[in-house]
Structure 1
Amino acid sequence: MNGQIRSDIRAGLEVDIVLKQDQPTGKLTHGIVKDILTNSPRHPHGIKVRLTSGQVGRVKNINSPA
């Protein structure tokens, strides 16, 4: 699943995100969702989340079953 639809994402899911500084390279960072930061129901570049590690980025892949 991609991370463009807010209702697919919830706290505790394992996801891959792209950090702001990694957007040019597309390097993915793996982690667990702590907070959902995007308010709109969908976003073409991925829903912005904060991981339990404190890193913030846009979801590219959802690794846990929804």
Structure 2
Amino acid sequence: MSGTKRENIKKGTKVNIVQKQDQRSGKVTEGIVEKILTNSHTHPHGIKVMLESGIVGRVKEILD
């Protein structure tokens, strides 16, 4: 499932994110959502979240 809609992402959801510094390479980081940082309902590049590990990035894929 794509990570561009806020309604699909909840606290505790397992996701793949792309961090700001990895946008060019496309390297993804897997983790569990701690906080949703994007306020709008959708975002073309993915909803911005903070993982439980403290890493911030945009959701590329929802794994749950």
| Shift >2 Å, 4+ stretches | none
Q: Aligned residue for 1:13? A: 13
Q: Tell me the amino acid that sits aligned with residue 15 of structure 1.
A: V
TM-superposed CA distance for 1:58, in Å, is 0.1
Q: Aligned residue for 2:4? A: 4
What RMSD in Å do the two structures reach over aligned CA positions?
0.2
1:1-66 pair list within 5 angstroms: 1-64=1-64
Aligned residue-pair number: 64
Percent identity over the alignment? 61
TM score, norm. by length of structure 1: 0.96
- Mind listing any 5+ residue stretches in structure 1 that lack a counterpart? none
TM score, norm. by length of structure 2: 0.99
